[in-house]
Structure 1
Amino acid sequence: MKKDLTKGNVFRNIITLALPIITSSFLQFAYNFTDMIWVGKLGSDAVAAVGTSAFFLQLCWAISSVFILGTGISVSQEIGAKNNPLAEKISREAFTGIGLIVAIMLVLIQIFPDYLIGFFNLNDPIVEGFAISYLRVAAIGLFFSHAVFLFTSISNSRGDSKTPMKVTMIGVVVNIILDPIFIFVFKFSVIGAAIATVISQILSFGLFYRKSVVHFFGASKFKISFDEIGRITRLGIPSSIQRIVFTVIGIIMARIVAQWGSDAIAAQKIGLQIESMTFMITGGLMGALLSFTGQNYGAKEYKRVNEGYQTAIKIAITFGILMGTLFYIFPEFFVRWFVTEEETVAIGASYLRVIGLSQVFMTVEMVTTGIINGLGKTKIPASINITMTVIRVPMALYLSQEHLFGINGVWMAIAISTVLRAICLSIAYHTVKRKMILSTSI
């Protein structure tokens, strides 16, 4: 199943593709939101433990994204060029690659969880114990969740974002139902949240595989080959390195935050969870624009590429202003969804106020990254995002000194780097546009 994005109204194409992706993101947020509420009932220690473990799960996703993004770009361009057999071959090779790389990561997590969690120097045996247990169990679902990410990327690239939405809906509902059962009825505590997640991931994978495997991989017998793996990794590596660096910097930033105690760690995790409303919804728009750009660039419809960007950026800016305003005016309201400890609420509210000022820049950054990646120039946004993410650490160390801004200095470093990324990426896109779009459409 595929949809031709090279014809028809540009706004309608982008919105039609983006809405199911955004709906999937809302559903994922609903799960994360519910999951954090249930974990939050166990206290700030449990929230801190899950938040600490999540950094390493995100690192695994960052590594495997080399196949996910590279496949999405390649498949969309081949679909635009009417070369479906090659699109199927690319999808098969990416699936094999995901399986191999996840197997390595799973082994490492099961053998060395103490060393991973120990990096944070939490100095709290209860939080460390929770974190290690959660990480070990949650890692079991890595292959299934990453395969679903790959299937979603392929489906979106083919112009079908409804199937991922339906699969996500089922997985989220199952997860929401199982969370309180495993956490409180079976009294598995934070491990119960991990078990519920793994079960829903396995279910989502099974549904997606059964429904779409023939469309994605072709009807012929599955053969392991790596003829196109170089192309996939060449496109995916820059973005994967970006995600790895972003996650590693996130781990380092979390270690800086840890000096203010488990309340601060929990507050940051909650703040990130709330901020993900902006990230996930804009990510849907970004994914739609990437697929739209890939198909139209592959079909040499260059004017539609730029028109798609202009459409998406207007939507992104409007949404970014809205979310930033809400975060700045009502931060305590959002944080109290998860916890009631006043210290955690105060720190989480300060995070949202500072980050709220940069939300519109984050939406611009993400949408602009989507169109540049869709053009196949993945090294450009990766280089900019890596550079502007790395500078968070020295900025945070300096601004968080007690005679300056304390923990708010960490939040300021994150916001400043987001603003710089948006500015640099906007300049980069207009440079790329002159070289790749305007010059070729004359």
Structure 2
Amino acid sequence: MKSKTNSKDLTDGPVLKRILALSVPIIGAMFMQTATNVVDIVWIGKLGSDAVAGVGTSTIFLQLVWAFASIFLVSSGVLVSQAIGENKNKKAKEYSRDSVKALMLIIILMGIILQVYFDEIIGFFNFKKQVVIDSAYVYLSWMSIFLIFSLGTLLLTQISNSRGDAKKPFLYFSIGVVINLVLDPIFIFTFGWGVAGAAWATGIAQFIAFALFLRKSFRTFFGGLTQWGFRFIRINELIKVGLPTSLERIIFTVVGIAITKIISDWGSDAIAAQKIGNQLEAITFMCISGLSSAMLSFTGQNYGAKKFDRIKKGYFYAMIISLLLGVVTGLLFYHFDEELMGVFVSERNTILIGADYLEVLGVAQVSMCVEMVTTGIINGLGRTKYPAVINTSMTVIRVPLAFFLANNMGMGVDGVWYAIGISVFLRALFLTVAYFYLTNKLLKSEVTVS
């Protein structure tokens, strides 16, 4: 039997058991990560819808940094898992080291850009209220400094998941959430720091989680200090695999900026409603993202080991889980829309606008779950360009469709919500077609699995 040093073997044993053993801790970790953001918005919501609008707008640009960084967040997951499947631990560490070095360069460069060009960035939205601009500035300024900890933790999580160990990320994300829960009300209200307090609470929590994670896993993931240097060994492979997904996410974020610009015509209440709706959907998003990440690692290891039937069986089980999750969360969003919005804000207009958004999101939850899990499996095969092309093209149509439905069809801001729902459905449809095309093309083994 081959040995996988410091890694969990996903190429043997019952398929469903292996998927659940890996995905449940990942989902827990993703849920904890989302909980940090939700907690922030709950407390910031007590400062008013204008503060939520400012913070929500600034997070779009933090997501843009994450989109650039995903070149190495995604490719490290794909290539490390495949190297582990091939039983090449040294190669896996080389991918991990190069990912860290490249990620740090991206974070530094993008952080400087966000700090220097803030006025031009936020000025694009032409906000009428100074409180919205001030909230955006304070939150973006501090959070761009803390990016090294949040994205660093995500990279460590991806590498750990690819090695089949999802328990460590769950532990460290949980520690971060508890710290954030304690610090948020103290910094925001007791110290009177407002939006800056939310940023500091999150930043400190992320720093502690990152430091603990790195201390525990450094040698396992990256090797000894003598193996480090300024030379990039595997960078071309990492970029080749990760670039399509990164471009997809960059375009997705740019589309999000354009959508926010359209929504801004209906004022800060509409922007706040969208940001709260996005935070609520993030609960589903992060849970299914955990399953998607697990399927990337599971598929990558089994593809590296040439156990193709396990990949097909894994797809079947993953679809059942994702459909169940999509139905449950969809029903919650659709039937408890106003109640959920009321947790975050008290302004009636924001609640009503957000309730309409949640109803559309509720209908779209099943499609989103199918789309994300299928993306993880296809990425695990190393064919990242397929999800990238499909997700990008079906996301770009949101802008003209939203403008058309909102303005030409007279649907107002509801037209924007419908455009988002339609694009999610189309992504799920075309990705499913791509999965069956690729499995017929690549996976032809008839090996029997347990």
**TM-score, reference length from structure 1:** 0.98
Listed one character per residue, the Cα deviations across residues 348-376 of structure 1 (whole Å, up to 9, x for unaligned) are: 00001112111101000001001000000
User: Are 1:140 and 2:145 counterparts?
Assistant: yes
User: Are 1:72 and 2:77 counterparts?
Assistant: yes
Q: Distance in 2 between matches of 1:205 and 1:28?
A: 12
**Selected match of 1:81 from 66, 80, 86:** 86
Question: Match of 1:107?
Answer: 112
**Selected match of 1:334 from 312, 334, 340:** 340
Residue 220 of structure 1 and its aligned partner are, at CA, apart by: 5.2
Residue 239 of structure 1 and its aligned partner are, at CA, apart by: 0.5
Listed one character per residue, the Cα deviations across residues 58-80 of structure 1 (whole Å, up to 9, x for unaligned) are: 00001011011001100000000
Q: Distance in 1 between matches of 2:89 and 2:425?
A: 40
Amino acid of the structure 1 residue aligned with 2:113? L
Q: Distance in 1 between matches of 2:189 and 2:34?
A: 22
**Selected match of 1:242 from 243, 248, 252:** 248
Question: Match of 2:395?
Answer: 389
Listed one character per residue, the Cα deviations across residues 288-346 of structure 1 (whole Å, up to 9, x for unaligned) are: 10000000000000100111111101110111111111111110111111011100000
Q: Is 1:155–1:161's contact at 8 Å kept on the other side of the alignment?
A: yes
Gaps of 5+ in 2: 1-5
Residue 114 of structure 1 and its aligned partner are, at CA, apart by: 1.1
User: Are 1:411 and 2:417 counterparts?
Assistant: yes
Alignment of 1:344-383 (within 5 A): 344-383=350-389
Question: Match of 1:432?
Answer: 438
Amino acid of the structure 2 residue aligned with 1:270? I
| Change beyond 3 A, Cα 1:87–1:403 | closer
SS of the residue aligned with 1:420?
helix
Amino acid of the structure 2 residue aligned with 1:32? N
Listed one character per residue, the Cα deviations across residues 202-251 of structure 1 (whole Å, up to 9, x for unaligned) are: 11111111000000001351223212001011110010011111111001
Amino acid of the structure 2 residue aligned with 1:93? D
SS of the residue aligned with 1:395?
helix
Decide which moves more: 223-232 or 97-106: 223-232
Q: Is 1:93–1:224's contact at 8 Å kept on the other side of the alignment?
A: no
SS of the residue aligned with 1:103?
helix
Q: Is 2:308–2:445's contact at 8 Å kept on the other side of the alignment?
A: no
Question: Match of 2:177?
Answer: 172
Listed one character per residue, the Cα deviations across residues 75-105 of structure 1 (whole Å, up to 9, x for unaligned) are: 0000000000000011011100011111101
Residue 403 of structure 1 and its aligned partner are, at CA, apart by: 4.9
Question: Match of 2:31?
Answer: 26
Residue 280 of structure 1 and its aligned partner are, at CA, apart by: 0.8
Q: Which runs of 4+ in 1 moved over 6 A?
A: 439-442
SS of the residue aligned with 1:351?
helix
Question: Match of 1:422?
Answer: 428
| Change beyond 3 A, Cα 1:41–1:205 | same
Decide which moves more: 109-118 or 219-228: 219-228
SS of the residue aligned with 2:175?
helix
Alignment of 1:228-267 (within 5 A): 228-267=234-273
Q: Distance in 1 between matches of 2:48 and 2:436?
A: 48
Question: Match of 1:268?
Answer: 274
Amino acid of the structure 1 residue aligned with 2:200? I
Question: Identity, % of aligned pairs?
Answer: 50
**TM-score, reference length from structure 2:** 0.96
Amino acid of the structure 2 residue aligned with 1:410? V
Q: Is 1:75–1:87's contact at 8 Å kept on the other side of the alignment?
A: yes
Q: Distance in 2 between matches of 1:224 and 1:211?
A: 23
Amino acid of the structure 2 residue aligned with 1:27? M
Alignment of 1:217-232 (within 5 A): 217-219=222-224, 221=226, 222-232=228-238
Decide which moves more: 64-73 or 24-33: 24-33
**Selected match of 2:53 from 28, 48, 52:** 48
Residue 275 of structure 1 and its aligned partner are, at CA, apart by: 0.8
Question: Match of 1:283?
Answer: 289
Question: Match of 1:156?
Answer: 161
Residue 441 of structure 1 and its aligned partner are, at CA, apart by: 6.5
What is the aligned length? 442
Q: Distance in 1 between matches of 2:304 and 2:49?
A: 50
Amino acid of the structure 2 residue aligned with 1:426? T
SS of the residue aligned with 2:230?
coil
Question: Match of 2:3?
Answer: none
Question: Match of 1:35?
Answer: 40
Residue 440 of structure 1 and its aligned partner are, at CA, apart by: 8.3
Residue 347 of structure 1 and its aligned partner are, at CA, apart by: 0.3
**Selected match of 2:202 from 192, 197, 201:** 197
Q: Is 2:36–2:202's contact at 8 Å kept on the other side of the alignment?
A: no
Amino acid of the structure 2 residue aligned with 1:216? F
Question: Match of 1:183?
Answer: 188
Amino acid of the structure 2 residue aligned with 1:359? Q
Q: Is 1:327–1:353's contact at 8 Å kept on the other side of the alignment?
A: yes
Listed one character per residue, the Cα deviations across residues 134-190 of structure 1 (whole Å, up to 9, x for unaligned) are: 100111111111111110000000000000111101111111111111111111110
Decide which moves more: 351-360 or 23-32: 23-32
